[in-house]
Amino acid sequence: MFSVHGCRVVLKLLDDELTVEMSRERDVSSVRLVYYLGQFYIDVVYEKEQRAPLLVGNHAAACDLNLDNLMVIVSTNPIVPSIIVDGRGIKSFNQWFNKNKSELQSKHDIILNEIKELRDKGKEIPDELLAKERELRGRLRALWAYRKRRLDDWFHKITRWLTEFLYRTGHDVFVIGTGVLEAKRNCSERLNKKVTEKFVPMPYRRLIQLLEYKCEERGIRVIEVPNEEYTSKTCCINDDIRRIQRSERPKFSGRRIARGIYRTIYNKTIEINADVNAAFNILRIYANIQPAELFEPNVLKWKLCRPIRVCFTDDVNELIERILNHR
């Protein structure tokens, strides 16, 4: 079915053939035909020389995963601002998907029930009813496949620029709080079957997997922190998140006063970004650092109070330059 001719991969079909042109710099080693929800995908595997990356620093960064703020990233590098990766577009798309999936699934279930009733009564099933069932089943499969392609495209873009940014700014460790994955599982268990079928959550695990292999090529380690308990309630400046997680009756020096705002004391009362505060606590769980000792007061306030919001569709080089010039 497949044949490889230099930089060309030829897929022979029944009455035709499909040719995929590869870069002459790539040495194709194998080709896989993958079937997914009624569609075929061609995976081209090529040889790539893995060179030991030259790291330019030993800074650590951490990330808190959310929805509207898909990734909130903080760093021990004093010149790097706190970053919010805008996730509202992906969230909106996922809501659109869930709405359309729910409508199609409902119509499909009605048709299946009609077919089942006719079979139970021993009656003949009309061809029109079977054709309608096949049509709805095909539309559901196409919708799922479209979602996978869109999210894969977005996640590849996000992880590409993030890996490049971490490398250029001297990071060798990236810490991700994965408590959201456990929360997602617990939420699915609490919801009844009917609601669960209608709601498909964000595939954070896929995002992490793509980030891991891209960071590995750059020599950056990705560390997962599964226990995010109290990271949103604990003040990253005054409290010790490790001690609070071990405490049976924890006390906090600050509190969340509104959506996205955390109030605490740093010489005087200060309001900081709540998601940035949580990301710093995730970093403290891994590295046990004290931000107040690591940064000058004005730098710490800048990191906690003035995160920069970025969109992953921007050009990588322009995006990195804009982030580093953010003051």
pLDDT, tens digit, 9 for 90 and up, residues 258-268: 889 999 988 78
Asked if the structure places residue 274 within a domain, the reply is: yes
Task: Give 98-154 pLDDT, tens digit per residue.
Answer: 999 999 999 999 999 999 999 998 899 999 999 999 999 999 999 999 999 999 999
Residues 169 and 207 in one domain: yes
Domain that holds residue 6: 1-49
Number of separate domains in the chain:
2
Residues 149 and 44 in one domain: no
- For residue 183, the model assigns a pLDDT of 63
Task: Give 39-80 pLDDT, tens digit per residue.
Answer: 777 777 777 777 767 777 889 999 999 889 999 999 999 999
Residues 80 and 27 in one domain: no
Residues 24 and 79 in one domain: no
Residue 155 tokens read as 């996640």
Is the model's pLDDT at 197 over the cut of 50?
A: no
Residues 173 and 204 in one domain: yes
Is the model's pLDDT at 191 over the cut of 60?
A: no
Residues 6 and 78 in one domain: no
Mean pLDDT, all residues of the chain: 85
Mean pLDDT of 196-219: 83
Asked if the structure places residue 93 within a domain, the reply is: no
